[in-house]
Structure 1
């Protein structure tokens, strides 16, 4: 994402992030479908071999397809981060709330998906081998909604209402999926989730790349990615414990409480980056 920010103009970064976000979503769906096929063909080693091949192809695209030095249009060249400015990279210009948002988003994702696969099998009766196709169908169905939210973000002076809507769609979708008793309700819940989740995955990194100072952009995107993966770890641990202690009700309570804190922080501290 930091590299993409260096190669795109400020006014095009949301579009670039949208393309990257959509590519990640499609890759995620294809991985859900192809992973079991590769595992059935050659076991876990085939999955890792395919991952290595795809990673190598990605490296070749970067080495062959990109100019050596991007021509930045927002002033100067990218600089090596100054440790003395770490505080600015962490909290300056409202960046902190963007890091917190991606942390909360992935925490919600992992916490909910500690239970959703079991819901699909036990409450809805969908065999595990069919789960990937439901993910793929609902993700594809969500893409028009994602495109609408991303386009709308570019027209707003203050994105907080739109981001709050995306957060609510994400949580509403997860809660609906957790309580689903039929395939239709489960599908609606997952589609709502993918609309909100993918929109946030697209908009949040674009905002970071826009509001971060040029000399701190790489540092800011690194902190952003670190917050994302910390959210994955925390969500898995928190979701598993909540499910063990309180069942689905306990998990929903944790998700709801986290969402309330997230929305309050977004509204209180998010004015600066959301006006970018």
Structure 2
């Protein structure tokens, strides 16, 4: 028998509280997106380029600091890094809220991004959950990010309509302080900081991950996806207000409608991709849809119903890609290197967000709204061309198994593990007394694997991606 597949109360508390901390922070970042293009134009010194830079600026400092902050948390502890990052984020909100010029808002957004705590939170999740429940905890955080994005798209315009752009930024600071309270009062403190290869960066795996062509395609893709998102938020709020005639205070219902319908539409696509093992087909279809929605937005700008329909299609494609690409990374990343691959992937995502804001603002300033949408379409087409060269990913699941300490230094253990039916890749990490394994669950002989890893004992396992 395996250990009971039930999270303990401490694990549930850790997962729920850390998911909430992550959500509050992302909510603060996202709330600005639907309002900065319309309200930011009233700031002193505002230009399309500077507004675009302010929209994506958080990604620049996030990209540079996320991996270093994660490594710092290995040395000084997770909670000090997380609390410090949230304090920086709160300070950024105050700086932007008090700003009367676009330059002040830009400085505040750069500060907000400097609170780069994503890697530290993921590492703390790994410290506070057993192997067999870690994926559930990570999934809770993933769902909290999606929920925070949906809430932010509605809350941003509503708060801005009531309290202005400054009110939005002050709200982000309050959310950061709530996150600090959760970390200090609710999140359990781990007995010891551990380094998990599936949740943190491994120095020896860094260069191989950068050289992996399949991972490079994913990194390019996530950078383009978030560049498109930031560039679109330079143009979409302005198109809704200036072309379709919808007051900026009422934009919330457009985003709410688009996100609700897109969530409904994406579920069957994701189920099809995973169960029928057709991820490549679904991903390429979503990229094509991204490319097609851009000229449609341009051509329907003066029709509110047409523009809303195009926004729904855009968010459907975006949500499908946002949900499936991490699963692809988990399948492609070599055994024991998922944390490193995810760190590079996240850095690419934030770098794409920064570049997308700059690109959207620059193109809008020179070529107008239509230029932004056409530029986004060309970016999506470039991704489609690169994505078409990828193969179907291996449909494998990642496991981290505790290894019997007596066996961990047995040089023949790795060969015996690889001989188990269904095992595709494996490495043995002696210092962790653990094996990182990738398996095809449809072929895996789990009982044989248990006998090989820890004969005569019960072993625990993680649940996959």
TM-score band, normalised by shorter chain: 0.7 to 0.9
Listed one character per residue, the Cα deviations across residues 180-222 of structure 1 (whole Å, up to 9, x for unaligned) are 2221111101110111101111111122233323432222111
Describe the SS at the equivalent of 1:215.
coil
Structure 2 distance, partners of 1:62, 1:225, is 27
For residue 59 of structure 1, report the CA deviation from its aligned partner: 3.3
Give the structure-2-normalised TM-score.
0.50
Contact 1:108 1:235 in 2 (8 A): yes
Of residues 163-172 and 137-146 in structure 1, the stretch that sits farther from structure 2 once superposed is: 163-172
Structure 1 distance, partners of 2:166, 2:226, is 31
1:157 to 277, 281, 291: 277
- Provide closer, same or farther for how the CA distance between residues 167 and 115 of structure 1 changes in structure 2, counting only shifts above 3 A: same
Gaps of 5+ in 2: 1-117, 397-465
2:219 is matched with which residue? Answer: 99
1:251 is matched with which residue? Answer: 372
1:83 to 186, 189, 203: 203
Pick the structure with greater CA Rg.
Answer: 2
2:290 to 160, 170, 188: 170
Gaps of 5+ in 1: 70-75
Give the structure-1-normalised TM-score.
0.80
1:210 is matched with which residue? Answer: 331
**Do structure 1's residue 187 and structure 2's residue 311 form an aligned pair?**
no
Structure 1 distance, partners of 2:394, 2:369, is 34
- Provide closer, same or farther for how the CA distance between residues 146 and 257 of structure 1 changes in structure 2, counting only shifts above 3 A: same
1:47 is matched with which residue? Answer: 171
1:141 is matched with which residue? Answer: 261
Listed one character per residue, the Cα deviations across residues 71-123 of structure 1 (whole Å, up to 9, x for unaligned) are xxxxx975864423312222337111111111010111122221111111111
Structure 2 distance, partners of 1:62, 1:217, is 28
Contact 1:21 1:202 in 2 (8 A): no
Number of aligned residue pairs: give it.
269
- Provide closer, same or farther for how the CA distance between residues 170 and 61 of structure 1 changes in structure 2, counting only shifts above 3 A: farther
Larger relative contact order (CA 8 Å, sep ≥ 6): 1
For residue 33 of structure 1, report the CA deviation from its aligned partner: 4.7
Instruction: Calculate the aligned-residue CA RMSD, in Å.
Output: 3.5
Describe the SS at the equivalent of 2:377.
helix
Structure 1 distance, partners of 2:270, 2:139, is 8
**If each structure's helix is expressed as a fraction of its own residues, which one has the higher value?**
1
Listed one character per residue, the Cα deviations across residues 197-256 of structure 1 (whole Å, up to 9, x for unaligned) are 011111111222333234322221111111111111111111222222222343333223
For residue 16 of structure 1, report the CA deviation from its aligned partner: 6.2
Listed one character per residue, the Cα deviations across residues 128-181 of structure 1 (whole Å, up to 9, x for unaligned) are 101122111211121111111111111233422210111122333343233322
- Provide closer, same or farther for how the CA distance between residues 94 and 104 of structure 1 changes in structure 2, counting only shifts above 3 A: same
- Provide closer, same or farther for how the CA distance between residues 122 and 240 of structure 1 changes in structure 2, counting only shifts above 3 A: same
**If each structure's strand is expressed as a fraction of its own residues, which one has the higher value?**
2
- Provide closer, same or farther for how the CA distance between residues 125 and 56 of structure 1 changes in structure 2, counting only shifts above 3 A: same
- Provide closer, same or farther for how the CA distance between residues 107 and 14 of structure 1 changes in structure 2, counting only shifts above 3 A: same
Contact 1:166 1:200 in 2 (8 A): yes
Structure 1 distance, partners of 2:347, 2:214, is 17
